[in-house]
Amino acid sequence: MAQLIVRNIEDEVAQKLKERAVKNGVSAEEEHRRILAAVLTEKDKDGEPKMTFEEFLVYGEPFIDVDLKIERDKSPMREIDFSD
């Protein structure tokens, strides 16, 4: 496997990478691998990457599976007064 060294990354970008890694329970290096793979392997109908790396960082995570844990509020419904 190849190795990449990325130099001169803005501090803010490096910090965001570390925060994402923590959120996803992986190392910053693994998170970097996942981002690169997602951005570079997803292709449009012409075989081109769907997004550039910059677009990916700016517009979010369209290719990363996200598990959302949403719980329904089970408290009793409140009554609504329509008399006004």
Report the alpha-carbon distance of residue 69 to residue 42 in Å, rounded.
26
* Cβ 51 vs Cβ 57: under 8 Å: no
Report the alpha-carbon distance of residue 59 to residue 52 in Å, rounded.
10
Report the alpha-carbon distance of residue 71 to residue 44 in Å, rounded.
35
pTM of the model: 0.51
pLDDT tens digits, 22-59: 999 999 999 998 888 877 777 777 777 666 777 766 66
pLDDT at 64 over 60: no
Question: 13 is written with which tokens?
Answer: 């970008």
pLDDT at 12 over 80: yes
Q: Which helix (H) or strand (E) holds 28?
A: helix 28-41
